[in-house]
Amino acid sequence: MARIEVVMPQMGESITTGTITKWHKNVGDVIELDAILLEISTDKVESEIPSPIQGKVVELLYPEGATIDVGRPIAIIEDDMNAEVSAAPAAKTEAPKAAVAASPAPVAATAAPIQASQEEEEGFRFYTPLVKAMAKEAGVALSDLKHIKGSGAAGRVNKADLEAYIAGGAKGSAATHKAGPTPTAAPSGVAQTRSNGDRVEIVAMDNMRKAIAKNMVLSKQTSPHVNSIDEIDMTRLVKAREKIKNDFKKREGINLTYSHFVLYAIVQALKEHPLINASIEGDNIVIKKDIHLGCAVATPTGLVVPVIKNAGDLNLTGIARQLDVLATKAKTKKLTMDDLSGGTYTFTNNGSFGTLIATPVILQPQIGIFCTGVIKKRVMVMEDDAIAVRSMMYGTHTYDHRLIDGELGSKFLASVKHHLETMNPENLI
273 is catalytic: no
Buried b (16+ CB within 10 A) or exposed e, 200-212: eebeeebbbeebb
The backbone torsions φ and ψ at residue 63, rounded to the nearest 5 degrees and listed phi first, read -85, 170
How is 25-44 classified by DSSP, letter by letter? S-TT-EE-TT-EEEEEE-SS
The CA R_g of the chain, rounded to the nearest whole Å, is 25
Of 43, 161, 405, 418, the active-site residue reads: 405
Residues 190, 167: Cα–Cα separation, whole Å? 7
| Contact indicator for 347, 295 with CB cutoff of 8 Å | yes
Residues 47, 35: Cα–Cα separation, whole Å? 13
Measure the N-to-C terminal CA separation of the chain; round to a whole number of Å. 55
Whole-Å CA distances, 3 to 35, 54, 145, 253: 17, 11, 40, 49
Of 338, 401, 418, 419, the active-site residue reads: 401
H/E stretch holding 67 reads strand 67-69
Peptide bond into 89 cis (omega under 30): no
Q: Can you tell me whether residue 343 is helix, strand or coil?
A: coil
| Contact indicator for 114, 128 with CB cutoff of 8 Å | no
Nearest partner of 364 among 253, 241, 218, 237, judged by Cα: 218
147 is catalytic: no
How is 234-300 classified by DSSP, letter by letter? -HHHHHHHHHHHHHHHHHHSS---HHHHHHHHHHHHHHH-GGGSEEEETTEEEE-SS--EEE-EEET
At 390, the amino acid letter reads: R
Q: Can you tell me whether residue 350 is helix, strand or coil?
A: helix
Residues 301, 44: Cα–Cα separation, whole Å? 8
User: How far, rounded to the nearest angstrom, does the alpha carbon of residue 38 sit from its chain's CA centroid?
Assistant: 20
Buried b (16+ CB within 10 A) or exposed e, 23-33: bbbebbbebee
Catalytic residues: 401, 405
